[in-house]
Structure 1
C-alpha cells in the first residue's frame, strides 16, 4: 500500500513536473516494486513461451514450410502466452480489492486516472518485454525475419493496450484468485485458439472461422503477421479493431470500478 504522504508534493522541491505526473510516477515506482517483489508469475510468462515455440516450430514448419511455419509458431506463441499473462494485469487490481486498499488509494490526493496509470505502466512494460523476448528469440535462433520493425512495434503496442483493458476488466469482475485464474486460463486458451494462434484457421472447422473475428486473438495474430510481411494497410486495420476492443474493455472496467466505489460510499 502506498501511503498518502508519498503522493504529496514537497514544498520547494523545485521539480518542474506537474503534480499529476509526479503522483503517477510515484505510483508507478510503487507498483513496479510490488511486481518485482513477487516475480515468479512474470518469470514463468517469460520462460515458458521460449520452450513452447522451440518445441512446436518443427511441427509448424513441416506443415507450412520454413518461413510460414516459423511465423505461425512465433506469433501463435506470443499471442497465447500474452493472453495467459492477463494473470499479471488482473491480479494487480484484484489484490487491491481483496486487501481493501483500493478505496484507501481513492482517498488519497491521486486522481483515479493517475492510480490506473501508475498500475498500468509497469505492467505495460512487462507485457512488451515478454513479447519482445519471444520475437527476439525467434529472430536470433529460429530464423524469423523482422524487416518492418515500425509496423511490428505498432501492432505490439495496440495488442498490449487491448490486454491491459481486458485484464483490468477481469481484475475488476473477479471475486477471488481462483475465479481470476479460471478466467484467464480458460479465456486465454479459448481466445487464442479461436483466433488461429495455435492452429491455422484454414485447418479449423467452418464455424470456428466464422466466429474467429469476435476474438481479440484473431486480430492480434493478423496484425502481427501483416506487420512481419510489411502490409501497412492490413496492420492499421487490425490495430484499429484492437484499440476498439481496448476501449470497450477499459470502459467496462471503469464502469464496474465506479459502481463499486459508489456502492461502498453508500454503505
Structure 2
C-alpha cells in the first residue's frame, strides 16, 4: 500500500474510532446483552442435551445471533455519514472507495471480533466451555467477522434510512440465525428448514464453530471458505456501488 494511501486510511480509522467512542451505547449493549442471554439460555440446553453439548449450543447460538444483530454497528457507521451528507464530501476527495470502506470497516471489525472473544471467554471462565482447538476456532471467528463486516457494509450502502437499517438487521439477523440452526438444532426443526439452512451465512458460522470445538479441520476449512466468499461478494458489491451514485441519498 502506498504511503499516502496508508496515511489517509489511518486518519479515517482514527476518526471513526473517535466517533464510535463518543456514542458507546450500541457497542456496550452488544457486549453486555449476550452474556446475560447465554447465562439464561444455558440451563434450557443443558437440561435436554447434557452439560457439555448444552453449553456449546448456548454459546454458539448466542454468538451467532448477537453478532448478526451487531450488523447495525457496521451499517450505521456508513449510513450516518450518508444522512449527514458528509459521505458525499468524502467521496469528493482523493479517497478511493475501498479506503472509505476500510476506514469504517477496521473499527467495526475490531468491535465484532471483541464481542465474539468476550462471549467465548465468558463461557470458558463461567461455564467451563472447553476450547481444545483454539486455532481452528480463531479461524472461524475471523472469517465470520469478515462476513458480518461485508453484510453490514452492504446494508449501510443500500438502505436509505435508519429505520430501514434497523428493520434489516433485526429481522434479517433473527431469520439468518434461526434458519441457520444457531438457536435451535436443525434436527429439531422441520425438514424444509434443514434443506434451506446452507443458504444462511449463520448456518456456516454455527457449523464452523461446532466443528472447531470438535477439532474437525475439514469442516472448519469448508465453513471459513464459504464465509470469506460471502464477505468478498458483499464487499465487492458495496465498493462498486460507491463508485457511482449508489452511495448518495437524493431527496425525492
Matched, 1:64 2:59: no
Shift of 1:104: 0.7
TM (normalized to structure 2)? 0.95
Matched, 1:205 2:190: yes
Quote the Cα distance in structure 1 between the aligned partners of 2:41 and 2:79: 34
Shift of 1:102: 1.1
Shift of 1:109: 2.7
Greater CA drift, 77-86 or 249-258: 249-258
Quote the Cα distance in structure 2 between the aligned partners of 1:47 and 1:263: 34
For residue 73 of structure 1, what is the aligned residue in structure 2?
58
Shift of 1:262: 9.0
Kept in 2, the 8 Å contact 1:151–1:230? The answer is yes
Deviating runs (4+, > 3 A) in structure 1? 261-264
For residue 170 of structure 1, what is the aligned residue in structure 2?
155
Quote the Cα distance in structure 1 between the aligned partners of 2:91 and 2:210: 41
For residue 54 of structure 1, what is the aligned residue in structure 2?
39
TM (normalized to structure 1)? 0.90
For residue 117 of structure 1, what is the aligned residue in structure 2?
102
Shift of 1:46: 0.3
Structure showing greater radius of gyration is 1
Shift of 1:108: 2.1
For residue 104 of structure 1, what is the aligned residue in structure 2?
89
For residue 20 of structure 2, what is the aligned residue in structure 1?
35
Shift of 1:45: 0.3
For residue 142 of structure 2, what is the aligned residue in structure 1?
157
RMSD across aligned positions (CA): 1.6
Quote the Cα distance in structure 2 between the aligned partners of 1:55 and 1:38: 28
Matched, 1:245 2:215: no
For residue 185 of structure 1, what is the aligned residue in structure 2?
170
Deviations 1:173-227 (A, max 9, x none): 1111011000000000000000001101000000000000000000000111111
Deviations 1:33-69 (A, max 9, x none): 0011101010000000000000010000111111111
Quote the Cα distance in structure 1 between the aligned partners of 2:126 and 2:99: 40
Kept in 2, the 8 Å contact 1:94–1:172? The answer is yes
Shift of 1:261: 5.5
Quote the Cα distance in structure 1 between the aligned partners of 2:204 and 2:185: 13
Matched, 1:140 2:125: yes
